[in-house]
Copies of this chain bind each other. A is one copy, B any other.
Amino acid sequence: MVENNQNSQVKGSQSLLFARAPYILSAGSVAGSKEAEGPLGSVIDMTNEDDLFGASTWEEAESTMQKEACVLAIGKAGISPEEVRYLFGGDLLRQGIATSMGVEGLKIPMFGLYGACSTSGEALALAAMAAAAGYGEYMLAVTSSHFGSAEKEFRFPLGYASQRPLSAQWTVTGSAAFTVGYRAPDSAVNAFRHVRIEGVTVGKIVDYGLKDSQNMGACMAPAAMDTIVRNFQDTGRTEEDYDRIVTGDLGYVGQSILFDLVRGQGYDIRKKHMDCGMTIFDQKTQDTHAGGSGCGCAAVTLASYVLPRIERGEWKRVLFLPTGALMSTVSFNEGASVPGIAHGIMLVHC
């Protein structure tokens, strides 16, 4: 545990606690038609009946969402793109093209990331680390996913109408962006003023040897467990210290596995756990099987549902923990397992 930025002597820790915790100053969220009909439809900043967002391909549609999410986040923070020092962003598509094409027009120096569905956590961790080190006044973190581009990238052509097992999840069409820094201009009426990133727990790749790409929740649950338990060990905390422990997209199957794995380590998070994939869709009416997934799932739920509650003080401390399944069509067709990774972001109201 690093108690301040000058101290890094405790060996073996995966966590940082910032001496001067940066704020999430704003969040912008954009999503598609199915998300608009779901439980968060009324709190997402911008939704569109046209899942192509006026573009001619799914990839371009995803890029359009990313750009809109960035513009929204920057606008709410009351700053201009030129004031953002560095952008940290990524997505699920091969070679991260949704991000490259999406943020290109902003002309912000950028770090491209790949963390599968954990990308919102990875981007927020790096943005907070850069801000806390004084490397710039404002940082931007962004990610996205799109049902159409993800099915094309990982599964079957949409027109093929492949039947999905009940353990499968539904990729969220959505993007969210977050500005990180210490203070938004006083003129920024839509900025958050009370959400700080007090620290991060950077995840390791965890591989239990699972190979079912239609059961991502099971593949990612061990990584979520690993990062949660490391967070508790590094900080000396337990589930009692958090109002919510929010995973990204474990879904119904992954949640039950997570509960078992965490219990095996001596903790019980059942009363504190919330999963974004079980929050963004209504399982009963929306036919989304094991729940939502994709980088956009955790990011949009954080932006539209979790952060406003922290801002208002309803939740004082939240461990946000998006989870990623590290695989490609090539790796799983070659018989490789699907390891997972989860990055923990410690959010506090103050």
The answer on a CB contact under 8 Å between B95 and A328 is yes
Is A7 close to B, CB under 8 A? yes
Chain B hits for A92, CB < 8 A = 95
User: Is the CB–CB distance between B114 and A113 below 8 Å?
Assistant: yes
A249 at the interface (CB under 8 A from B): no
Chain B residues with Cβ below 8 Å from A133 are 5, 129, 132-133, 135
For A5, A112, A336, which residue has the most chain B Cβ atoms within 10 angstroms? A112
Which of A26-34, A68-76, A80-88, A275-283 makes up part of the contact surface?
A80-88
A40: chain B residues at CB < 8 Å are none
A103 within 8 Å of B by Cβ?
Answer: yes
Q: Which residues of B contact A9 (CB under 8 A)?
A: 137
Question: Which residues from B are CB-within-8-Å of A341?
Answer: 110, 112
From 324 to 350 in chain A, residues with beta carbon under 8 angstroms from any chain B beta carbon are 326-331, 334, 336, 339, 341
* A235 interface hit (Cβ, 8 Å): no
Partner of A97, one of B11, B108, B130, B328: B328
Interface status of A203 (Cβ within 8 A of chain B) = yes
A174 located at the interface, meaning its Cβ lies under 8 Å from any Cβ of chain B in the complex: no
Q: How many residues of A contact B (CB 8 A)?
A: 67
Encoded as 1 (CB less than 8 Å from any B CB) or 0, chain A from 193 to 219 comes to 000000000111101000000000000
The interface residues of chain B lying within 8 Å CB-to-CB of A14 are 109
Query: Separation in Å of the A156 CB from the closest CB of chain B?
Result: 16
Kindly list chain B residues whose C-beta atoms are within 8 Å of the C-beta of A111: 113, 115, 122, 125-126, 202
Q: Are A59 and B330 in contact (CB under 8 A)?
A: yes
Q: Does A134 contact B (CB under 8 A)?
A: yes
Identity of the chain B residue whose Cβ is nearest the Cβ of A227 in the assembled complex: B109
Known: A2-B136, A96-B326, A112-B341. 13 other contacts (CB 8 A): A2-B134, A5-B134, A59-B330, A59-B331, A94-B153, A95-B328, A97-B336, A109-B203, A109-B204, A111-B113, A111-B125, A111-B126, A113-B113
CB-defined A-B contacts under 8 Å, sample of 29:
A5-B133, A5-B134, A8-B135, A11-B82, A14-B109, A60-B336, A86-B202, A92-B95, A93-B330, A94-B94, A94-B95, A94-B329, A95-B114, A95-B327, A97-B328, A100-B327, A101-B331, A104-B207, A107-B205, A108-B204, A109-B202, A110-B204, A110-B205, A111-B125, A112-B114, A112-B341, A113-B114, A114-B114, A129-B133
Give the 7 A-B residue pairs with the shortest CB-CB distance, closest first.
Answer: A94-B94, A133-B133, A109-B202, A95-B328, A100-B326, A112-B114, A96-B114
Task: List A residues at the B interface (Cβ < 8 Å).
Answer: 2, 4-9, 11-12, 14, 16, 57, 59-60, 82-83, 85-86, 90, 92-97, 100-101, 103-104, 107-116, 122, 125-126, 129-130, 132-137, 152-153, 202-205, 207, 326-331, 334, 336, 339, 341
